Chains A and B, each alone.
Chain A
Amino acid sequence: MSDEPDPATVVADADVLAADLLCGGAARDALDHVRAHSWTTLVVSDPLLDDAEAVITDLADADLADAWRDRIGELGEFVEHPEGDHPALACAYHGDAAHLVTFDDSLRTVSANASLKKYVTTSVKSPDAFARLFDPERLYPVVGDGEYPGPDRDPRA
């Protein structure tokens, strides 16, 4: 078992990372929480970003995927995990993330979530649920000092 999860630490599966760029909607709303708050952490790994980059290349083009990879690499905090592990689950485990955001129904089912908690104390949510339920104002006193100062980064910068 890894350490206690950090409530300000998030993993977005590769589908959410790609949808943030290509679709907008709930995926972008979810990741805007991270982009807008410097005290949150987005945990990533090279295998996770490889998957998202391949999807972006497939559905858009390689130049856009390259540019995205550069930018997400600046936002994310990298962890390493064994080859062959599910990248998002491994990032959650090795990054002590409290939240795993995914479109994958199989990761979000009650049984999968219960099974997952044997190994990773991470809450698996859809992008829509995370965007609605992640409350920076309520969380800030746990991770910062004083009252919530509001977003401290431009989420489009």
Chain B
Amino acid sequence: MTWRELFDAADEYAVSESEVRAALDDQRDE
């Protein structure tokens, strides 16, 4: 997939930067 296609596919998920940061903290705490 191109970056454009990836970004278009990701648009349906309304994710915030704080959610990403929290998810990474959880991932690295495991």
Q: Spell out A's residues near B (CB within 8 Å).
A: 13-15, 18-19, 21-25, 27-28, 35, 51-52, 54-55, 58-60, 64, 67-68, 70-71, 103-104, 155-157
Q: What's the count of A-B pairs with C-beta under 8 Å?
A: 74
* B residues in contact with A19, CB < 8 Å: 15, 17, 20
17 further A-B contacts with Cβ under 8 Å, apart from A67-B1, A70-B1, A156-B3, are: A15-B21, A19-B17, A21-B6, A22-B10, A23-B20, A27-B17, A51-B27, A55-B27, A59-B15, A60-B13, A60-B15, A64-B9, A68-B6, A71-B6, A103-B20, A156-B4, A157-B2
Q: Spell out B's residues near A (CB within 8 Å).
A: 1-4, 6-7, 9-10, 13, 15-17, 19-21, 23-24, 26-28
